[in-house]
Amino acid sequence: MFTIFFTGFFTGLPRGIFLAFAVAILALVFPAVGWAENATTPGAISTPYPTLTCLAVEWLIDGDDDQDGRVEVSYRTVGESQWKQAMPLVRVPAGSTGTRTRPTYYWMNKHSGSIFDLRPDTVYEIRLSLSDPDGGKAVETVTARTRPVPGAAVDARVIEVNPRTLRRAAMRAEPGDVLLLSPGYYDKFEMPVDGEPGRPIVLRADNAHPVIGSTFDEVSLEHRKHVILDGVTVYGPVRLRWAEDVAVRYCKIYSKFGIIAQAQPGAKNCYIADNTVSYVMPWVAESNGSGSIWGGAANVGEGIELTGPGNVIAFNRVSGYRDCISTMEDLWVYDQICIDIYNNDISVGPDDGIEADFSMGNIRIMRNRITNCGMGLSSQPGLGGPTYFIRNVMYNLSMAPFKLERLSYGNIFLHNTVVKAGNGLFAHHGQGEYFRTLWRNNLCIGGSGGGKNGRYSSGDGLAVSLAGFNETCKLEYNAVGAFGTAFGGLIGDRRFESVEQLNKLTGGQGNVKVDMGVFAAGVDFPDPTFPAREPVDLRIAGGSPAEDAAMLLPNVNDDFTGAGPDIGAYEIGKPVPHYGPRPRGEDESTAR
């Protein structure tokens, strides 16, 4: 009946007018018609959980079902005239984990992304330019401030304490006080009071004394705000559940569970930096992988393990744990967004070096050195993204450099370097495909010595092994190779034997073939995987195929030294980043 009315009403009208009215009427009567959702309707903009050196931006939208909308980003310090370009926001269509997790996690339709390597305690203007060829255009400017480096108040009152007087002094402490701990044994300690913004309460070891130091069995900073634990030794966990704006710095922690906030609501805006965290897990085949058995006991132990938003884990040395640095999974997850994990020196993590599982957006994992670990970087799964993995260096892994389990979404791998036995550029996935994953400007070499280690395999020596790769993924401008095995690999279920075939299979460009001669220093290929190996210098040589061959990425590699940015974690002519604890006096404004 509608058809009869429609055609009868417009009988005799010119064709152009007829079509115009037809489209208008259909849009009103059938608002869910496909073309109507391809246009973008911009929504709210937010800059959640600023950290010391990174800012996140999320722009919620409606529509853009064909996902061709784009948001360009530029930024500047307030008061400056010159805008700098950052990477575009990542298009994140709405989705969920379905039945793959407990409970089901959902993410919204949006553009989302980060600006990296900013100055602490600085206000920035961020200009966002949205465009969609199907309709929808907007330019917005927002401001956001990075967090300051935690430190004692400039007029702090210093109170000397000892094991006998600490608890009484802590109960009476006021915001801005520094409790200077004399050397001695302090048993188990729970901090009873809070500081204030800009005036934290500091528990600091008096390391001027030529003795062993201030030692605790365990330290609880749970429920505390604006407290700093500085320079103590702990033979048990440092607990941070419910903590906000708490810092743990320059501590030595020897414990099966190191620095932890392992259940909801986790920790918020905490700063974990310049610590040495260690345990006893050895680097042997029997300890490798989740659930492996070593010495008659399950492979256990977590070095730094937190859930919650806005946390920064930087410049720590972590070794001897099942997982060295990790977020939480499944029922224990709480608001895992805007987390920074950078410049850590990680070794002997028989399961994962860095486990960023259940990341909910704008997780930044940058410039970490990972040696003698099972999986290098885990995203099991990523919850929409983006999860950034940038300029991490991985040497002598027993399994895979990238673990993308349970249909992981939204992972971005930029400028990582991998040298390992078995498969080189290798993503382990035991439960189907992964989606919207990007590999760009990475240098990965696999080769001889592969095989089974614990529950998992390191692969057969392929240069590239991406069985879960699909049309939502990209692979471009990477340098890949194999040592002691024939060059080749796997994309989806398709084999290749040349870089030209690799580019054709992935629809990418710029991928190049390399060998161990790509490195400037002599580097031993890590075959066999066991026993443990020392970190090596993986800077590339001038004149290698990786030099000047990377894709230009604003705010990531636009400070290159040659004709273009180099592939891999290191730029020729640039110093190697500092890994692990820094000397006192350095912070994010002085050391990168």
| DSSP secondary structure letter of residue 513 | E
Q: Is 255 in a helix, a strand, or coil?
A: coil
Residue 58 makes CB contacts below 8 A (sequence gap 6+) with: 45, 46, 47, 48, 110, 111, 112, 361, 362
- Give pairs for 75-84: CB < 8 Å, separation 24+: 75/115, 75/124, 75/125, 75/126, 75/127, 76/124, 76/125, 77/119, 77/122, 77/123, 77/124, 77/125, 78/123, 78/124, 78/125, 78/143, 83/127, 84/554, 84/555
Task: Tell me what pLDDT residue 5 has.
Answer: 31
Residue 168 CB neighbour total at 10 angstroms: 10
- In this structure, are residues 242 and 222 in contact, taking their beta carbons and an 8 Å threshold? yes
> Among candidates 592, 587, 579, 590, which has minimal Cα distance to 249?
587
Are residues 270 and 311 in contact, defined by beta-carbon separation less than 8 angstroms?
yes
Cα separation, 377 vs 349, whole angstroms: 11
Q: Give Rg (Cα) of the chain.
A: 26
Position 299 scores a pLDDT of 79
Cβ neighbors of 196 (< 8 A, separation 6 or more) are 175, 176, 226
Distance separating alpha carbons of residues 534 and 396, to the nearest angstrom:
9
Residue 332 near residue 264, CB atoms below 8 Å: yes
3-state secondary structure of 119: coil
The pLDDT, as a whole number, for residue 456 is 81
Q: Under CATH, to which class is 38-145 assigned?
A: mainly beta
**Whole-number pLDDT of residue 27:** 42
pLDDT at 290: 75
CB 397 within 8 A of CB 419: no
For residue 373 the two structure tokens come to: 């670990």
**What are the residue boundaries of the structural domains of the chain, listed by start?**
2-31, 38-145, 152-278, 308-592
Token reading at 32: 């869910």
pLDDT at residue number 295:
63
pLDDT score of 29: 41
DSSP alpha helices (H): ranges in 103-243?
A: 166-172
Tokens 């040589």 -> residue: 541
Burial-class residue 506 by CB neighbours within 10 Å (0-12, 13-18, 19+). buried
The predicted structure's pLDDT at residue 10? 36
Separation CA 56–CA 363 (nearest Å): 9
Per-residue confidence (pLDDT) for residue 286, from 0 to 100: 85
Which H/E stretch holds residue 500?
Answer: helix 499-506
Can you give the pLDDT at residue 12? Answer: 41
Give the per-residue pLDDT at 246: 98
Question: How do 218-220 and 297-298 pair as beta strands?
Answer: unpaired
pLDDT 10s digit of each residue in the chain, 592 long?
333 333 333 334 333 333 344 434 434 444 444 444 999 999 999 999 999 999 999 999 999 999 999 999 999 999 999 999 999 999 999 999 988 888 999 999 999 999 999 999 999 999 999 999 999 999 999 999 999 999 999 999 999 999 999 999 999 999 999 999 999 999 999 999 999 999 999 999 987 765 556 888 999 999 999 999 999 999 999 999 999 999 999 999 999 999 999 999 999 999 999 999 999 999 998 888 877 776 656 778 999 999 999 999 999 999 999 999 999 999 999 999 999 999 999 999 999 999 999 999 999 999 999 999 999 999 999 999 999 999 999 999 999 999 998 999 999 999 999 999 999 999 987 666 899 999 999 999 999 999 987 678 899 999 999 999 999 999 999 999 999 999 999 999 999 999 999 999 999 899 999 999 999 999 999 999 999 999 999 999 999 999 999 999 999 999 999 999 999 999 999 999 999 999 998 888 654 4
Please return the burial class of 493, using the count of CB atoms within 10 Å of its CB with bins 0-12, 13-18 and 19+: exposed
Strands (DSSP E) contained in 379-503 are: 387-390, 393-397, 402-403, 411-414, 417-419, 425-428, 438-440, 443-447, 452-453, 456-457, 464-466, 474-476, 479-483, 489-491, 494-496
Exposed, middle or buried, 306 (CB in 10 Å: 0-12/13-18/19+)? buried
